[in-house]
Structure 1
Amino acid sequence: MKKYFIQKAPFIVPTTDGKLIEEHHGIATTNNPEISIAQMIAPPKWSEPFQTPEFEEYTYIIKGKKQFIIENEIVILEAGQSIKIEKNTRVQYSNPFDEPCEYIAICKPAFDFTKVHREE
């Protein structure tokens, strides 16, 4: 039995907002509830509703910029920067800028739609 697994076929999460989500490890791809790792590309002017997830989320920006509204504070990250947002924190993710934003998101435990608690 091998002591490693190389992901060659990430799960493409279906979206309706133009955002590309490729989950490499997590519930949908490798049935791993402990952690999820995804590469994402948020198009210009993209945003999600506020959410209060039951998991920590780490974000590392590869290209572009991404805006976070954490509780009531606006934080903007640029390429080469990263952030950790604690679980049970109200946050909104967006890319209000004119260029796509490419980034890696790591959730611990793994991203789970039933535990993200997006607002309507």
Structure 2
Amino acid sequence: MKKPYTIQKKPFIVPTTDGKIIKEHFGNATNGNSKISIAHMVAPPSWSEPFQTPEFDEYTFIIRGKKQFIIDNETVVLEAGQSIKIEKNTRVQYSNPFSEACEYIAICTPAFSMELVNRED
């Protein structure tokens, strides 16, 4: 009999070239779920991504460290224990310009995909 739950013991480790650690527990890469993605991430000091305008809502919960968000030209910094929801179709840049790594959980609805993230060059 199929169990009515799934325990994730082997998240998909997304290959990166910028030192960021991304472990997707549920989502497109892990189990083909396009409705939601849940990932545990660690952004190293001095890390940043290009601006993007995703076609998904993104929730971020900071576990340790700090993370900077530039949202429609407003700079927001979150610290451990804080969270944020950024609505889809919002221009945003994620970064960690600080000296300590930032560990956080990201949840995207629908799930993160390169086709929906719309990163700028």
How far 1:117 moved relative to its partner? 0.3
For the residues of structure 2 that align with 1:115 and 1:84, how far apart are their CA atoms?
17
Separation of aligned partners in 1, 2:72 and 2:31? 32
- Matched with 2:44 is 43
Q: Deviations over 1:42-77 (max 9, x none)?
A: 000000000000000000000000000001100000
Q: CA deviation at 1:107?
A: 0.1
Scaled by the length of structure 2, what TM-score is found?
A: 0.99
Alignment partners' CA distance in 1, 2:15 and 2:34? 19
Q: Secondary structure at the match of 1:103?
A: strand
One-letter identity of the residue aligned with 1:119 = E
**How many equivalent pairs are there?**
120
* CA distance in 1 between partners of 2:44 and 2:9 (Å): 24
Q: What residue number does 2:11 align with?
A: 10
Structure 2 counterpart of 1:67: 68
Output the CA distance in 1 between the equivalents of 2:43 and 2:78. 13
Write the distance in 2 (CA, Å) between the matches of 1:10 and 1:46. 22
- Normalising by structure 1, we get a TM-score of 0.99
Q: Counterpart of 2:52 in 1: which secondary structure? A: coil
Cα shift at 1:100: 0.1
1:14-29 map, 5 Å: 14-29=15-30
Identity across matched positions, percent: 75
Runs of 4 or more above 6 Å deviation = none
Following superposition, the deviation at residue 88 of structure 1 comes to 0.2
1:113 is displaced (CA, Å) by: 0.5
Q: Which runs of 5+ in 1 are unaligned?
A: none
* Structure 2 residues without counterparts, runs of 5 or longer: none
Deviation at 1:5, TM superposition (A): 0.4
Q: Distance in 1 between matches of 2:28 and 2:8?
A: 14
Q: Alpha-carbon deviations, 1:21-43, whole Å to 9, x = none?
A: 00000000011001000000000
